[in-house]
Amino acid sequence: MTQKANEIAALLAPTVSSLGLQLLGIEYLPSPGGAVVRLYIDLSEQDLAADPERMVSIEDCETVSREVSAQLDVEDPISGNYTLEVSSPGVDRPLFTLAQFDRFVGESAKVGLKLPQDGRRRMQGVIVAVRGDTVVLDVDGTQVEVSADNIDKARLVPDWAALGLAPTKPGKGKAGDGGKKAPARGNKTDGASGDASNDIHHHKPAADKPTPAE
């Protein structure tokens, strides 16, 4: 995460934790028209251990969005306009910390780098191990060590076939669509489909409180 994202995460993590959830990480995307602050939340470790099949609900996202919006109004760590998004991780969950990489050893991940390594800015491979401050990936049969400080973004790559969501072969779907991939589980409140998460949006106009997007 960027320094700004880390600052916001440190501010908001206790609030999310007080709601019985955990803050996985934050994406902070500044732009001239207003920043996007995207929170990824999950169930607490205790709840995950007790019921691995349980998932973050849209009600969880709404509760976190409401509480976090109020806190951001008071603390005001972000200058100017911003849009707050609260989302569950989905099957293609983002990875923010070494502990999260370690949890998913054996899974495939896409990793975007801040600086090129071996001529690459993006890598995809199986997470082999976490050693100190590095993540070891098996990329096309070669083990590559990536420093955590050089990771810009990372996300799991789901095994769609194992999930029963593999695209059909061309000609097996409706005429002209080349086959379709079934949407991953989850909902979005903005009407988009196929997203593997619950997603809540709040917008902060200048000098105004965030209000739920219609």
Name the DSSP class of 188: B
Mean pLDDT of 80-97: 93
What is the rounded average pLDDT of the residues 189-205? 47
Set out the domains of the chain in order of their start, with CATH numbers.
3-91+187-212 (3.30.300.70), 98-156 (2.30.30.180)
Stretch among 36-40, 47-51, 153-157, 186-190 having the lowest mean pLDDT: 186-190
- Which whole number is the average pLDDT over 150-175? 73
Q: Is the pLDDT of residue 178 over 80?
A: no
Q: Are 160 and 127 in contact (CB under 8 A)?
A: no
Q: In what order do the strands lie in the sheet with 120-131?
A: 142-147, 134-139, 120-131, 108-117, 151-156
Whole-prediction pTM:
0.75
pLDDT score at 166: 67
How far is it, in rounded angstroms, from Cα 212 to Cα 214? 6
pLDDT score recorded for residue 110: 97
pLDDT single digits (tens) 106-124: 999 999 999 999 899 999 9
Which of the four pLDDT bands, split at 50, 70 and 90, describes residue 203? low
Q: If you ran DSSP here, which 8-state letter would residue 138 be given?
A: E
